[in-house]
Structure 1
């Protein structure tokens, strides 16, 4: 099903569409949906699981031009050459070294592009972590291109292709595009250039790098969270905060320096960059139909919303190499893993640039693992330096911390990663005073992005290792120190934003403390030492937020004439199970699970009739306006945000259509949801009365009566849901939506319904930074071989507050993935900066070591003498709302400090530089 929107550009209006998975051959749809199960609300398998295990084409990498209905069968191939130095200017290419069988059909340099093409700025995807230090006006100014280069979604004016004669801005920046008209030539060129693509590149004296910032300078915005009694970020307007924060900061520093009664614990930590190492390297297809002027793309991306609009904007200039481009259509595929590495990735723009010069031929751009390591977005290398202040009764008083994130070449979302890292630096604790500065700097290294945790892993590692060091220095129990300082509902974070959600942190610590892995740690140590192994136990906590500072989501639920249900969502399933979760979450409402789930449909928003053309909160009085349309799939938005949007939309379909039909069939007055119950696939009235109605019978009646056959809902969350009344065929409905429209038949546009009596978030809540939390406590037991420095994680205990669990298997899977990723990040995944690392183009899994099966505890329940990773979820009180929490990042965040704390327990030595490799351990033991 196509969803369309439009973008005004300098050359006119360009249509935007997002389609489902590409059709094969003559347009037969790619069948990826399998039955979720007969019990409403319960999944027996993943909706795309069978398609994956049987090798069907569902990833962008799987498709070729011949698979696309209406495309030419012949396909070109694109290959970018990458900058190998930032010390000299790129002068051009010498392709005489290439074998004759490897000659490209076309070579494109930066000088071949019309400079006017770059005058059109592309939209800045600030869908994550909106920064309120900058005014809207200043933000718009920062997004204006200065000429000479694309202004990418990350807001930088660094060229996609380095202009000959100029010094590259960063390693891996594209210096040339090679296009091949045969697969054989493409493969021959790849083979020849694999060992050293510098053989065809020429460097020498020339002009310096173009664009800002300069090397080793910070990207804007930078974050400063200053908190003192009577002054904080959340409780102060932006102008006053910007003016007074430096003065308050100076006052805090003076007071802390002069305080003789406070215990001071240094905070020192550093982390190397990390690759997301998702299963499928980035790949895609593109073709521009010369007759219709439509650009079609096949992509797996976390941010279809930004990618399509940015491509349309990029080619909306009068100087575009594709005159009169009328339409950009994205076939949205399953990405094959993401972890933030496909969020606002430059890959989509590189693909679009390639197709513009392919002479009307389809073109394929497919990174192999070497190139993905070389240019794919990374978790930021980070340094953290500061001091933790405490009273002698264990009460924490203040934290002073400076965090510097290596943003690499492109800005991407790096400043916002740093911003959330600053928030996470307060950990799970009540801190009356805070002085936290965080920034992301432009360097020559591979660009950083929004990888899993978004600054949280770095911050929690710093604060949680410092807490254990403080406990050891003062002779305090680690558990007691944490318990004495737990943040709770009614307290405030380091931004001053209030905690308005139950966290259950004391109960979670109780659970961890009573577990044998912690309670019997002395006995476990003795058993290992009796066999010649060094053993240690570590504890750490995290309070990872989910969602951003304001989130817009859109979803549709369709009822087929045969009673089947289809869910559509702007969310992207990166392998985290979003499609399955959204497919079953409607089951208890509509009596059956979805038979089809379409993901990545951000242009559904255009059909709602809503506008988000102003960031002013004063527009809520317009019933067809919302603060934010859609954003990328990130920040663990599924369990609460996307699920609630789908559920509210399903409620609109139930109460505004199905119950109306049921009332007419039963010959009764208006029905409410409380008047009926779903039982064995049929709707029946509560108590004795009319005969049950199957969903198929209701669907037939709905279609014949001209009632809505589908609902389209838009929701906005900013500390609370926008709620409003909507006039429907079932009467006035109060829903947690700010936009509602109804479909009448499969081929009709939805009819928007203006909202009434809305309740909206107050403007000041935007400055809280985050609102909802997924706490986690981790305990790690490990052994150390003192001769080799090898560490083996024996057991992991994770105590997680996941809220209501929609699909238990998905939560378990996310936890297991988080454990594996955390072990790799902490002990194995070493990525040197510069040309010593993957920027040289020769790194693969032979050099970059991820966690393998033997590195990860295999069991799921702790047992003495065995290895396991046990997940304990906090039970929800009886009668609690069925509200989930986003947990994909939560488990991962506190395992690295728990491992480091376990090593300290085992050796008495603090290893605060990640990854903690055998060489580092042996060096520490030698001292």
Structure 2
């Protein structure tokens, strides 16, 4: 497995049409023995699936997905000004990865001729009018910087129109997938799984390697198989560059999987929910990469909800009641999705003034994900009030931490990491993009930890003083039992204290009233110990600075730090959230027009920091799923968006008339307990919509489609063949 043996590549390629492809079979050469061993195992797994064994049902299918555009409401844009006298460059940008954008601009101009090289770069980041991955690691900030340098001493605005955004913006990878699954006919359980993926990366290697590995890791979805072999590669082409986009890799591979699972259930036959129950990965079991999840696994609950919902429960009766000239079908799908990248960072700074006013700064970006509200709500659990002011996408507000970094957090060796960690200011990375559904889990984490420090060493001592309790009183040790209710600090047997009074007392006592922190996550949080008030303070952070009332920030040296081992990069994913969807569709025989009559999605997200935003994410994800399944497509090459002629006249996105506006039900499961942390769900809510629609189309027409999108013209052809 990758966790045990590491990721392997054949390292050998052969020419193919317009590209090179890997040589997957084992070659009779002495080098590459790690790959040779994996290739041998893979060959055995595939041989077992190819054998003529009547006890097994083996299905192999090809599934192709299309290139699509993120279609953010706002095309990419930016403002620039280069002051040639002061040699100062100022930029205003909207991106998902502020720190990376700043670092890239500095790298771009850092080696310029001294006559033209800026002495200072002032990066300012505004909220994005939609991101969906298309503003993560985008080259557009470099163009804005160059435009400002070329036209010094005047304001420069660089903004794509929609034609230009289609032409140059990052696209979703088109996938070609071949999947083979073997099922024991007697038990209905998966015994073997093999898949081969090929991704069209377009002209530049933007994020293709990550998309390939994430898609491969997700190829088995919510299921367990004892034997798995997956190959994946991305290739260069003359198409528009493909990169990061919502659910990258996973919506492609899990759509192929869930459509194939539906066919398996029809062939065995076995109820689709029951098949999923029998084969679902259980808590403590290992993923295909070889590691267990660190989060709750709630597949049984999701499946129960789907099974009991009227859309699914009453599917036979509804089908029988179909009006003349109309076909009715119901489909279901259930998926999980990782959140985080395996090298995520978070920066957060929190302060409270003597009136109880709370101010928060963080490095996470706002693009419609509600990160500002989420970080305020998460910190409020410790501070008793929602922040009065929140600043997001901040990259230069954390100077007191004195952070330094080196190397690549994805590739660093354990020996190097151990040596670097001796420097109390070193971290594997300083700031990362708001992407991969990491906003609630990662983006709010540092601010929450900073707020916890303020409560423990500022507000709690102040509360003890107001209650007339000495620091040596036994109650002083029970700070974790205290709770905020309606702006008052509540402790059993003691009078409720208003936040303003506690904050004023904390300032009067010169307690800790501000803190900033940094966290790093490589499928597990880094953990460190700091000395505060003579006490050891251990938390899931790796850097901490505190400020007492009336003082300046003081950076604290860590007395102990444990960064996640470097070989955790072998882990495919350790954090997982689930979502299931069932849909009912009607299709007109005469026209092939499809209408989504009713839909239901059920998801689990741990602690929902902003339930309204979670609901909005699910609704938006449903709409994007509909577009991906039924409408959106871009030709890859000469007739595609690279020709500069594409706009919304040719590119169809889901409109209100395509959606069940009043018949879409979203259910959010409560957390398993009060201590469960937030889970990222911005991507998982889109994925099951796509295969659920395809499965519903099969139920209605008897026709299985093996490519996307399934257009009205294709449906019109299919209904001709459907039984009357």
TM-score (normalised: structure 2): 0.90
Structure 1 residue 656 corresponds to structure 2 residue 450: no
Deviation, 1:693, is 5.0
Q: Verify the 8 A CA contact 2:446 2:516 in the aligned structure 1.
A: no
Q: Which residue of 1 aligns with 2:593?
A: 790
Structure 1 residue 299 corresponds to structure 2 residue 59: no
Q: Which residue of 1 aligns with 2:638?
A: 835
Q: Which residue of 2 aligns with 1:626?
A: 427
Q: Trace 1:748-827 onto structure 2 (pairs within 5 A).
A: 748=552, 750-827=553-630
Deviation, 1:347, is 0.6
The CA RMSD over aligned residues, in Å, is 2.7
Structure 1 pair 906/682, CA: closer, same or farther in 2 (3 Å)?
closer
SS of equivalent residue, structure 2 residue 279: coil
Structure 1 residue 537 corresponds to structure 2 residue 330: yes
Structure 1 pair 773/757, CA: closer, same or farther in 2 (3 Å)?
same
Work out the CA distance in 1 between the residues paired with 2:621 and 2:150: 42
Work out the CA distance in 2 between the residues paired with 1:797 and 1:791: 17
Q: Verify the 8 A CA contact 1:315 1:321 in the aligned structure 2.
A: no
Work out the CA distance in 1 between the residues paired with 2:85 and 2:498: 48
Q: Verify the 8 A CA contact 2:167 2:644 in the aligned structure 1.
A: yes
Q: Which residue of 2 aligns with 1:55?
A: none
Q: Verify the 8 A CA contact 1:605 1:714 in the aligned structure 2.
A: no
Any idea what the Cα deviations from partners look like across 1:853-885, whole Å, max 9, x if unmatched? Answer: 1111112xxxxxxxx1111222334x4414121
Any idea what the Cα deviations from partners look like across 1:338-396, whole Å, max 9, x if unmatched? Answer: 00010011111111121121133221101111111111111111111131122112111
How many residue pairs get matched? 692
Structure 1 pair 516/693, CA: closer, same or farther in 2 (3 Å)?
closer
SS of equivalent residue, structure 1 residue 836: coil
SS of equivalent residue, structure 1 residue 885: coil
Any idea what the Cα deviations from partners look like across 1:507-557, whole Å, max 9, x if unmatched? Answer: 211111111101100111122x23431010111111111112232211110
Q: Which residue of 1 aligns with 2:363?
A: 570
Structure 1 residue 512 corresponds to structure 2 residue 306: yes
Q: Which residue of 1 aligns with 2:12?
A: none
Deviation, 1:257, is 3.0
Any idea what the Cα deviations from partners look like across 1:780-820, whole Å, max 9, x if unmatched? Answer: 11011122121111111112121121221111100000011
Deviation, 1:488, is 1.1
Q: Which residue of 2 aligns with 1:739?
A: 543
Structure 1 residue 897 corresponds to structure 2 residue 691: yes
Of residues 917-926 and 627-636 in structure 1, the stretch that sits farther from structure 2 once superposed is 917-926
Q: Which residue of 2 aligns with 1:312?
A: 106
Structure 1 residue 556 corresponds to structure 2 residue 349: yes
Q: Which residue of 1 aligns with 2:484?
A: 678
Q: Which residue of 2 aligns with 1:110?
A: none
Work out the CA distance in 2 between the residues paired with 1:218 and 1:331: 41
Structure 1 pair 676/793, CA: closer, same or farther in 2 (3 Å)?
closer
Deviation, 1:241, is 4.2
Q: Which residue of 2 aligns with 1:492?
A: 286
Any idea what the Cα deviations from partners look like across 1:473-497, whole Å, max 9, x if unmatched? Answer: 2222222222221111121222122
Q: Verify the 8 A CA contact 1:684 1:693 in the aligned structure 2.
A: yes
Any idea what the Cα deviations from partners look like across 1:553-581, whole Å, max 9, x if unmatched? Answer: 11110223432111111111110111111
Q: Which residue of 1 aligns with 2:262?
A: 468
Work out the CA distance in 2 between the residues paired with 1:812 and 1:610: 37
Structure 1 pair 666/474, CA: closer, same or farther in 2 (3 Å)?
closer
Q: Trace 1:156-235 onto structure 2 (pairs within 5 A).
A: 216-217=18-19
Q: Which residue of 1 aligns with 2:524?
A: 720
Work out the CA distance in 2 between the residues paired with 1:790 and 1:746: 68
Residue 123 of structure 2 is aligned with which of 330, 335, 347?
330
Work out the CA distance in 2 between the residues paired with 1:450 and 1:244: 32
Q: Trace 1:278-297 onto structure 2 (pairs within 5 A).
A: 278-297=72-91
Q: Verify the 8 A CA contact 1:460 1:542 in the aligned structure 2.
A: yes
Structure 1 pair 358/388, CA: closer, same or farther in 2 (3 Å)?
same
Structure 1 pair 911/746, CA: closer, same or farther in 2 (3 Å)?
farther
SS of equivalent residue, structure 2 residue 664: strand
Work out the CA distance in 1 between the residues paired with 2:653 and 2:363: 31
Q: Which residue of 2 aligns with 1:263?
A: 57
Structure 1 pair 657/579, CA: closer, same or farther in 2 (3 Å)?
same
SS of equivalent residue, structure 2 residue 107: helix
Deviation, 1:713, is 0.9
Structure 1 pair 909/551, CA: closer, same or farther in 2 (3 Å)?
same
Q: Which residue of 2 aligns with 1:253?
A: 46
Deviation, 1:892, is 0.4
Work out the CA distance in 2 between the residues paired with 1:218 and 1:133: 20
Deviation, 1:839, is 1.8
TM-score (normalised: structure 1): 0.71
Structure 1 residue 876 corresponds to structure 2 residue 671: yes
Work out the CA distance in 2 between the residues paired with 1:660 and 1:594: 21
Moved over 6 A (4+): 222-226
Deviation, 1:623, is 3.6
Structure 1 pair 904/653, CA: closer, same or farther in 2 (3 Å)?
same
Work out the CA distance in 2 between the residues paired with 1:224 and 1:276: 32
Q: Which residue of 2 aligns with 1:33?
A: none
Any idea what the Cα deviations from partners look like across 1:112-171, whole Å, max 9, x if unmatched? Answer: xxxxxxxxxxxxxxxxxxx97499xxxxxxxxxxxxxxxxxxxxxxxxxxxxxxxxxxxx
Q: Verify the 8 A CA contact 2:346 2:445 in the aligned structure 1.
A: no
SS of equivalent residue, structure 2 residue 520: strand
Deviation, 1:724, is 2.7
SS of equivalent residue, structure 2 residue 86: coil
Work out the CA distance in 2 between the residues paired with 1:376 and 1:746: 48
Q: Trace 1:271-420 onto structure 2 (pairs within 5 A).
A: 271-319=65-113, 322-323=116-117, 325-393=118-186, 394-420=188-214
Deviation, 1:400, is 1.4
SS of equivalent residue, structure 2 residue 536: strand
Q: Which residue of 1 aligns with 2:417?
A: 617
Q: Verify the 8 A CA contact 1:503 1:801 in the aligned structure 2.
A: no
